[in-house]
Amino acid sequence: MASLAQSETDFSALPELSEDIFTAPLKRPDHLGLDWVEPAQADYGAEDDAIWDELFARQLGVLPGRAASAFMEGLDKLDLARGGVPDFGRLSEELDALTGWSVVPVPMLIPDHVFFWHLANRRFPAGNFIRTRETFDYIQEPDVFHDVFGHVPMLTDPVFADYMQEYGRAGWKAMRYNRLKALGALYWYTVEFGLIEEANGIKAYGAGILSGPTEAKFAVEAQSPNRIMLNVDRVMRTDYVISDLQPTYFVIESFEDLFRQTVERDFDRLYRSLAPAFTYANSAVIDVDNVVHRGTQEYLLRGGRGSGAPAV
Ligand SMILES: [Fe+2]
């Protein structure tokens, strides 16, 4: 069976990044080591904890019936409702006992190769700050609420936890072919904006959907977006929107199916055949698609974010 990662790659220490790999240059703050992990979690005050609690309560008003059961169970398993920004030490202990993962605090942005390396070692890098009241509804940079509330509950699911580790290992292969954009699209349409078929309908498991106030309803119920069964080759050729609701969501049958589709793919062959730019627009429906719902794209056609177009 083909593997995502080259078996000779050793992830016990941060592997050397060769010069012919093109990544965004980020200046490492002086107080951080090569792993970019902060020496300690930020000291959150009462106002920060209040913001966390309000965000948490708002999401709990929207997510039951729309979030994947694995996510809702993960919230319970980690007792994330106990109030205030969670302590990463306690969270990591509980997560380690469940699936061997931990959570480490990092600055807002870290380099791709460091991010992949942490995932390959079952460490989830989480933003070391929380949004303010001014950015309560929408922030582009992932803060601790997005990272911990949105991502960490899914890491309690054993199969999804394995997928995330494989994704990190796959990152190093994508870098060797300079196809990070394509692998980024896979992350976007699964880890951030993925949907899953459950016995009682389509639910959301992507952190970008689960950590925001609007997108859960839009992704799961609205007529506007396309919902298409996941095909890894197709997704890795598809453009995506960073600052607005998605015109298209991809649906998986199960986390086992997602893991299998990804691990069994011959990525060397795929990367050799991929163009550097995306082939498909983010709203496209193409011949090979297994379409669950063909969207009207009403939201997009009315102008999207900033136009006043209703999401649902
Ligand atoms: Fe995220």
Q: 194 C-alpha to center of ligand 1: Å?
A: 12
| Cα–Cα dist 100/245, whole Å | 33
Q: 287 C-alpha to center of ligand 1: Å?
A: 30
pLDDT per residue as tens digits for the range 128-143: 999 999 999 888 889 9
Q: 108 C-alpha to center of ligand 1: Å?
A: 11
Quick one: tokens of 181?
């954009």
| Cα–Cα dist 65/183, whole Å | 30
Question: Does residue 1 have a pLDDT over 50?
Answer: no
| Cα–Cα dist 279/287, whole Å | 14
Judged by DSSP in three states, 8 sits in coil
pLDDT per residue as tens digits for the range 236-273: 999 998 889 999 999 999 999 999 998 888 888 888 89
Q: What pLDDT, on the 0 to 100 scale, is given for residue 3? A: 44
- 117: pLDDT confidence band, cut at 50, 70 and 90? very high
Q: 207 C-alpha to center of ligand 1: Å?
A: 6
Rg over alpha carbons for the chain, rounded to the nearest Å, is 19
Residue pair 265/3 in contact (Cβ under 8 Å)? The answer is no
Mean pLDDT of the chain: 93
Q: 144 C-alpha to center of ligand 1: Å?
A: 10
Supply angle C-alpha 171, 75, 142, rounded to 5.
45
Question: Does residue 201 have a pLDDT over 90?
Answer: yes
Q: 192 C-alpha to center of ligand 1: Å?
A: 6
Q: 151 C-alpha to center of ligand 1: Å?
A: 7
Judged by DSSP in three states, 169 sits in helix
Which domains, ranges and CATH numbers included, belong to the chain?
46-301 (1.10.800.10)
pLDDT per residue as tens digits for the range 24-78: 889 999 999 999 999 999 999 999 999 999 999 999 999 999 999 999 999 999 9
Q: 224 C-alpha to center of ligand 1: Å?
A: 23
Q: 184 C-alpha to center of ligand 1: Å?
A: 11
Residue pair 215/245 in contact (Cβ under 8 Å)? The answer is yes
DSSP 197: E
Q: 227 C-alpha to center of ligand 1: Å?
A: 20
Quick one: tokens of 263?
């691990």
DSSP 145: I
End-to-end CA distance of the chain: 43
Q: What pLDDT, on the 0 to 100 scale, is given for residue 173? A: 86
Helices 158-176 + 255-263 axis angle, to 10: 20
